[in-house]
Amino acid sequence: MRQIDHFLAKPAPSGSSSRTHKVWNPSTGEVQAQVPLGDAALLDTAIETAKEVQPGWAATNPQKRARVMFKFKELIEANMQPLAELLSSEHGKVIDDAKGDVQRGLEVIEYACGIPQVLKGEYTQGAGPGIDVYSMRQPLGIGAGITPFNFPAMIPMWMFGMAIAAGNAFILKPSERDPSVPVRLAELFVEAGAPEGLLQVVHGDKEMVDAILDHTDISAVSFVGSSDIAHYVYKRGVAAGKRVQAMGGAKNHGIVMPDADLDQVVNDLSGAAFGSAGERCMALPVVVPVGEDTAERLKEKLIPAINALRIGVSSDPDAHYGPVVTPEHKARIEGWIDTAEKEGAEIVIDGRGFTLQGHEDGFFVGPTLIDRVTPKMESYQEEIFGPVLQIVRADDFEHAVRLPSEHQYGNGVAIFTRNGHAAREFAHRVNVGMVGINVPIPVPVSYHSFGGWKRSGFGDIDQYGTEGLRFWTKVKKVTQRWPDGTADADNKDAFIIPTMG
């Protein structure tokens, strides 16, 4: 059986954890590899190397750091197909979707290539008599990222791209469910010219997470995962004196106004709700038609569109989506459909028990459409994270604004309308961190930033863009004066708090 090793600059210590985790092939239901689960001793080994290499990297001028990023970008582009195939084999998403995963991470690397420009500080000449003031951004030292299974290329690159370009060393703990692509990214980063030990990959479960959160030499931790764990990571990391950004779950809503182009809405919903088998924190699992007439017209169009979706193995070029990541996750999704049914919702299209001919042991869940869902239902309140679309009917625009605004999650939301005033009003009032106007998956481009509100995000700094630069650096402020040697020794003003008047 294939072994997926840690990516360290020094050998793992003898006597470290011998525990392992299964890595499935979701399309066949077979175990294809195993990954070791590291412990605190293994993390110490990685940190030891990171402490050795980071000062030299921080002292490397930004242009040279940018050149490594440019070379890394070239290597990712040259290896796009094998990276996508490797990603699909462990995650289950189809090849084209896997390429999108890699590409969205690569866009942050492209932004990081401009690090000489974005790292520049501020300068004021003559802030006071003979006094100049300037600031500089400096790296924190060693950062760490704890990433989820659903984007094994994109999210690691979101984190380490900005952190390393800014001058930090980085420890990456990817999901143990699909760990091969993060390791391959680290290999390519060394090939691009990065010093060995600058980017290291440690595998593990909660034991490794806790070791990262408690380690005194790690200055900042970035996390993406479920909200309960995000909250735990945030509290424990902050208690240990770290800077922490922890992105949690989501229950994104798509508001459909009566004037919306329903054919376009159905096309957008099909991809946003069922793409990647719904395993996206920016998926759109709740549609909110405004008014009964809108709801009935939308439902009538959704049913044939959803029934026409093709589910296939991850390598099937004609499949709209593939299997979910593990048998446990398949059971969890189907359990939420059971819950919705027990709560009184109408199961319009039932994806439970779906099997793919020739791949009966694969972890497939058929597309599911559920109507008559209400805000009191647990299946509405919690994240399902599967190919399940729920319809929550809104009486009017005000009701539609309240639904996502009052939900515990506040990651993303979309509104579909031809009415500019309604769209503008919605964008200003809705209590959600990322808003799409006729855009079903409003993930901002790499030179903006990504982050939700409420239980979708803990910490006050977002991912990537200028926010990412802020997270991975600290600002040093310098106030300078060069005296001319004529100071009065008896100057009583020296005892007064200095002003710039």
Residues assigned a catalytic role: 281
Q: Order the strands of the 30-36 sheet from edge to edge.
A: 2-3, 30-36, 20-25
**Strand pairing report for 253-256 and 286-289:** parallel
- Whose tokens are 């005892």? That residue is 495
Query: Could you give the CA distance from residue 414 to residue 339 in angstroms, rounded to a whole number?
Result: 26
Number of helices and strands in the chain (H, E): 16, 21
CA distance 408 to 305: 30
Strands 131-139 and 473-481: antiparallel
User: What is the spatial distance between Cα 485 and Cα 437, in angstroms, rounded to a whole number?
Assistant: 63
Closest CA to 264 of 116, 399, 416: 416
Measured distance CA(73)–CA(185) in Å, rounded: 11
Residues 36 and 6: beta-carbon distance below 8 Å? yes
Strand, helix or coil for residue 169: strand
Rounded (10°) CA dihedral 206, 207, 211, 212: -30
Tokens of 300: 């009538």
Per the structure block, which two tokens stand in for 80?
């796009």
Annotate 435-465 with b (16+ C-beta within 10 A) or e (fewer).
bbeeebbbbeebeebbbbebbbbbbebbbbb
Tokens read off for 391? 């319809």
Angle formed by the axes of helices 62-78 and 180-191, nearest 10°:
130
**For helices 80-91 and 95-112, angle between their N-to-C axes, nearest 10 degrees:** 120
Helices (H), 343-441: 378-381, 397-406, 420-429
- R_g of the chain computed on alpha carbons: 25
Q: Structure tokens of 432? A: 């959600």
Tokens of 298: 């939308």
Do residues 176 and 91 make contact, with C-beta atoms less than 8 angstroms apart?
no
